[in-house]
Chains A and B, each alone.
Chain A
Amino acid sequence: MSEPVWVRRALIAVAVLFLAILILMPAAAVFSEAMRKGFSFYIASIRDPLALSALRLTLLTAAVTLAANLVFGLAASWLIAKFDFPGRSLLLSLIDLPFAVSPVISGLIFILLFGARGWFGPALTDHGIQVVFATPGVILATVFVTFPFIARELIPLMQEQGSEEEEAAVLLGASGWQTFRRVTLPNIRWALAYGVVLANARAMGEFGAVSVVSGHIRGRTNTLPLHVEILYNEYNFSAAFAVASLLMLLAFVTLAVKTALEWRIRAEQRLIEGGS
């Protein structure tokens, strides 16, 4: 680096200032606002039945979403990375669709499909199944918004690794399941975990799509982000920030796990480069 010292210092100062204004200050604001009315109020806000029910729904949604996307992400990546078939590139583009579509539109899609006047809405209502403005809608919208994360992590890695190890396993007598369990899965485990963490962060924080399909029914279809919005709109700032701080804590955990995983993946990549 040949830049003079003052240039370097100036650049560092700009970066630090930027981080402080855009990231650190808001984060600090969340916690200080949450504590404004004291610690007991903070605890009370979090232990409010409506807040707890929002937390439960958020955790349930995240759990179902991850399970669904784990299966879908693995299947799609396996298919795209290891096989060549007509429509392969179309499938690859479709996986990216949720990234390209605005979350609000993603929510509206499900209203159109399953709403009272939607394509399947009346039929479902006849059978006593409610999708929109109920938990299934919240889960569907979240699954839709987060499904590219895992597949996007896995496809490049699986393509790079090729299918020779799987072929070797099959020729040694392994069944399809044994090949997957003993060869494919261990080779992608860290990238898979990374994708899960990213998808989880998005699933817990998703606002737009969920906001459209949830109907904001307190205690029933409110997720944590929606609950924060309601509290805020009711000028209940301290409670809003207290609940928001829960999401912040979830974000910190995500960040820590993500950093640890990135470290593992880099170690693994060195292993691939050294191994080929």
Chain B
Amino acid sequence: MTANTAIDARHVSKTFSNYAALRDVSLEVRQGELIALLGPSGSGKTTLLRIIAGLDQPDINPQTTVVVDGDNIAGRPAPQRRVGFVFQHYALFRHMSVFENIAFGLRVRPRKHRLAEPALRKRVNDLLELIQLTRWSSHLPEQLSGGQRQRVALARALAIEPSVLLLDEPFGALDAKVRQDLRKWLRELHQRIPVTTVLVTHDQEEALEVADRVVIMNDGSIEQAGSPDEVFHRPASEFVLKFLGNVNVFRGRQFVRPHELDIDRIGYDDGAIAARIQRIRSAGPLVKVELNGETGEAITVELTHERYRQLAIQADELVFVRIKPRAGSEFFVGGNNHRTPSAEKVLGRL
């Protein structure tokens, strides 16, 4: 742990009656970093977040430490840490106006630390401006849309000037368009107010787009932690590879992403495999072609619209699938994490 570590959790385990939600997890978050805890439901990401917040306690173990802002808070009640928490379903105080929701954390301070009313109003109004809801300050939460409510929840958490900001699937209950907007807004907000942020999500796109660093969790353990680029292009395990996007499996051992494959009418003796086109979906930025390989395996290929027009392929046609030369990412043989250095080498074996 170094001076600029904001969160340092070590050897954290959590068992609920007879099921292990976290198995000896360690996580370090640097000051000002925005990290995403990414994983399927039940992977332990929310449990880890709640332990960092102090809402849940880790299993008792002398090795376990949860240091937030230089303070070991394992076994200490929640209010003693300056933590901002945003819930998936907002958890706004339903009987308070937007203004009072945001002001709550300031009003409950012990009297000697409490802001005077004018200073408090200024702080809340600044936050209302930040979330662009000034006009709504006297409305009740139920009069707002989901996206607006989540912005209020964020402002409420920021009002107490937290040392870390914890977001539990903050956009999970919102529809696709609003998610997109809020994601961008969060990114910009973090650039303006660089508070250390941990974002829990099951949406890999969200994690890869928003976070400085992505921590992928599965079954109570951390599978891999790294930059979005790292985890996407150099996945440390089969789970990570599969979780971060569609992937084709050849001979049960070789993994190739759909956009790294190409289709051709002519088969050279270069390892290309013959396949029959089942379905073509051309809506979206890429054309998705679903094929059945010679040995019956399902293959998905993503082509650019330009390449698709050039090929003029149709359903039911017999074609050849090969890995693009100099495909950007590396491939590995699943199970033992042995990575082959470049696409060309695998190409020969395919």
B76, chain A: closest CB distance, angstroms: 12
Is B141 a contact of A172 with CB atoms below 8 Å?
no
Is A175 a contact of B79 with CB atoms below 8 Å?
yes
Is B108 a contact of A171 with CB atoms below 8 Å?
no
A173 and B105 contact, Cβ closer than 8 Å, known pairs A271-B94, A272-B94, A275-B142: yes
B111, chain A: closest CB distance, angstroms: 12
Is A182 a contact of B104 with CB atoms below 8 Å?
yes
A114-122, A162-170, A233-241: which one contacts chain B? Answer: A162-170
In the bound assembly, the distance between CA atoms of A180 and B104 in angstroms comes to 13
Chain B, Cβ-Cβ closest to A186: B95
A149, chain B: closest CB distance, angstroms: 24
Q: Name the A residues within 8 Å of B54 (CB-CB).
A: 171
| A265 close to B (CB within 8 Å) | no
B303, chain A: closest CB distance, angstroms: 43
A187 and B79 contact, Cβ closer than 8 Å, known pairs A168-B87, A178-B108: no
In the bound assembly, the distance between CA atoms of A175 and B160 in angstroms comes to 15
**B79 touches which one: A170, A272, A276 (CB < 8 A)?**
A170
In the bound assembly, the distance between CA atoms of A186 and B141 in angstroms comes to 15
A168 and B91 contact, Cβ closer than 8 Å, known pairs A174-B104, A174-B108: yes
A68, chain B: closest CB distance, angstroms: 27
Summed over the interface, the residue pairs from A and B with CB atoms below 8 Å come to a total of 69
| B53 close to A (CB within 8 Å) | yes
Chain B, Cβ-Cβ closest to A183: B93
Q: Name the A residues within 8 Å of B84 (CB-CB).
A: 171
In the bound assembly, the distance between CA atoms of A178 and B107 in angstroms comes to 10
Is A271 a contact of B142 with CB atoms below 8 Å?
yes
Interface majority SS (helix, strand, loop, mixed), chain A: helix
In the bound assembly, the distance between CA atoms of A183 and B96 in angstroms comes to 9
Q: Name the A residues within 8 Å of B108 (CB-CB).
A: 169, 172-175, 178, 182
Is B109 a contact of A164 with CB atoms below 8 Å?
no
B153-184: contact bitstring with A at CB < 8 Å (1 yes, 0 no)? 00011011000000000000000000000000
A167 and B91 contact, Cβ closer than 8 Å, known pairs A174-B108, A182-B108: yes
Chain B, Cβ-Cβ closest to A189: B95
| B89 close to A (CB within 8 Å) | yes
| A274 close to B (CB within 8 Å) | yes
Q: Name the B residues within 8 Å of A168 (CB-CB).
A: 85, 87, 91-93, 156
Is A171 a contact of B104 with CB atoms below 8 Å?
no
Is A276 a contact of B95 with CB atoms below 8 Å?
no
| B78 close to A (CB within 8 Å) | yes
A169 and B104 contact, Cβ closer than 8 Å, known pairs A164-B87, A175-B79, A274-B142: yes
Interface residues of chain A, those whose CB is within 8 Å of chain B, are 164-165, 167-175, 178, 182-183, 186-187, 271-272, 274-276
Cβ contacts A to B, 14 pairs, < 8 Å: A164-B89, A165-B93, A167-B55, A168-B85, A168-B156, A171-B53, A172-B108, A172-B160, A173-B79, A173-B108, A173-B109, A175-B108, A274-B142, A275-B141
Apart from A167-B87, A168-B85, A171-B79, what are 20 other A-B pairs with CB-CB below 8 Å?
Answer: A165-B92, A167-B55, A167-B85, A167-B91, A168-B156, A169-B104, A171-B157, A172-B105, A172-B108, A172-B159, A173-B108, A174-B79, A175-B79, A175-B108, A182-B104, A183-B93, A186-B95, A187-B94, A274-B142, A275-B141
Closest 8 CB pairs of A and B: A172-B105, A164-B91, A275-B142, A174-B108, A168-B91, A186-B95, A171-B85, A274-B142
